[in-house]
């Protein structure tokens, strides 16, 4: 839980990127959680990386779990909001799905830290993270809804593939983990390539032709 008060003065000049103290704390925590591990990271270590007293950190986040929850929600809140906006448009399902794939994969790639790698933490099974789990399920359902619409447009009732576009987006997480860990990750993915893959896996063979429409829809929906 965050607190809106000003907190105590920092110990040093700003060390982390971010317009607010909360943003700096989240950036430091994201680095530590994704490189050292959640269980191995203490709030003292986070405070030291930011250059603030530990008491100041608690002024913004009452527990380490609260920090983790805030980081995880960053990965789903924006794409879920977009998906809900897209669902309210009259565009073909293929265009809506392409737009969502384009945005979601782009934000997972562009994040300073690979927060998706935290999805498998055992701590996420607890009640504290129920909101994150529910929002992620809502996002998955939107993906399936759009994918089912694409399959209908293609004249097929084979919905066994409807869950694949969501999984394709999340390959970004493994790709980043491989690349950052010195593994086989190539870093050659791009939002457009993944968006096209998400349509092709459903049987839409000219997915590239949807890009311009999807980009216009994305721009208009996000600015609405």
Residues 136-166: tens digit of each pLDDT: 999 999 999 999 999 999 998 788 999 999 9
Check residue 187 and give its pLDDT: 54
- Name which of 12-21, 33-42, 73-82, 89-98 the model is least confident about: 12-21
Contact 196, 105 (CB under 8 A): no
Number of H helices, E strands in the chain: 10, 0
Query: Which residue matches tokens 């609260």?
Result: 66
Residue 7 has pLDDT above 70, yes or no: no
CA angle 188–192–193, rounded 5-degree value: 50
Q: Could you say which DSSP state residue 39 is in?
A: T
Contact 75, 110 (CB under 8 A): no
Check residue 14 and give its pLDDT: 65
Instruction: Categorize the per-residue pLDDT at 19 as very low, low, confident or very high, splitting at 50, 70 and 90.
Output: confident
Residue 224 has pLDDT above 90, yes or no: no
Check residue 113 and give its pLDDT: 94
Residue 184 has pLDDT above 70, yes or no: no
CA distances from 150 to 70, 145, 199, 222 (A): 33, 9, 8, 22
Distance from the Cα of residue 1 to its chain's centroid: 20
Percentage of the chain modeled with pLDDT above 90: 79
Mean pLDDT of 28-45: 96
Contact 103, 82 (CB under 8 A): yes
Residue 222 has pLDDT above 90, yes or no: no
Looking at per-residue confidence, does 3 or 189 come out higher? 189
Mean pLDDT of 71-77: 95
CA angle 159–104–119, rounded 5-degree value: 85
Check residue 110 and give its pLDDT: 92
Residue 106 has pLDDT above 50, yes or no: yes
Tell whether the torsion through CA atoms of 201, 204, 208 and 213 is positive or negative.
Answer: negative
Check residue 48 and give its pLDDT: 93
Three-class SS state of 63: coil
- Name which of 22-36, 177-191, 196-210 the model is least confident about: 177-191
Mean pLDDT of 77-95: 97
Q: Looking at domain 1-62, what is its CATH homologous superfamily?
A: Homeodomain-like (1.10.10.60)
Closest CA to 195 of 92, 76, 89, 106: 106
Instruction: Categorize the per-residue pLDDT at 181 as very low, low, confident or very high, splitting at 50, 70 and 90.
Output: low
Q: Which residues contact 74 (CB under 8 A, 6 or more apart)?
A: 26, 111, 115
Residues 91, 103: Cα–Cα separation, whole Å: 16
Residue 186 has pLDDT above 50, yes or no: no
For every residue of 74-103, DSSP letters joined together read: HHHHHHHHHHHHHHTS-S-HHHHHHHHHHH
- Name which of 19-28, 87-96, 196-205 the model is least confident about: 19-28
Residues 146, 80: Cα–Cα separation, whole Å: 13
């Amino acid at each position: 839980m965050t607190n809106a008060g000003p907190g105590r003065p920092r110990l040093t000049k700003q060390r982390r990127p971010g317009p607010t103290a909360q943003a700096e704390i989240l950036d430091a925590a994201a680095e530590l959680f994704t490189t050292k591990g959640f269980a191995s990271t203490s709030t003292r270590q986070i405070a030291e990386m930011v250059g603030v007293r530990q008491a100041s950190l608690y002024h913004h986040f009452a527990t380490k779990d609260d920090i983790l929850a805030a980081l995880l929600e960053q990965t789903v809140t924006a794409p879920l909001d977009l998906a809900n906006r897209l669902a309210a448009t009259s565009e073909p399902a293929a265009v809506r799905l392409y737009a969502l794939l384009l945005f979601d994969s782009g934000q997972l790639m562009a994040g300073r830290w690979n927060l998706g790698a935290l999805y498998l933490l055992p701590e996420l099974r607890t009640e504290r993270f129920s909101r994150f789990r529910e929002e992620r399920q809502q996002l998955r359902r939107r993906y399936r809804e759009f994918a089912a619409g694409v399959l209908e447009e293609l004249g097929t009732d084979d919905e066994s593939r409807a869950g694949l576009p969501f999984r394709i987006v999340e390959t970004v997480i493994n790709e980043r983990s491989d690349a950052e860990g010195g593994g086989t990750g190539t870093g050659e993915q791009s939002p457009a390539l993944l968006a096209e893959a998400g349509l092709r896996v459903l049987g839409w063979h000219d997915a590239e032709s949807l890009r311009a429409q999807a980009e216009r829809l994305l721009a208009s929906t996000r600015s609405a």
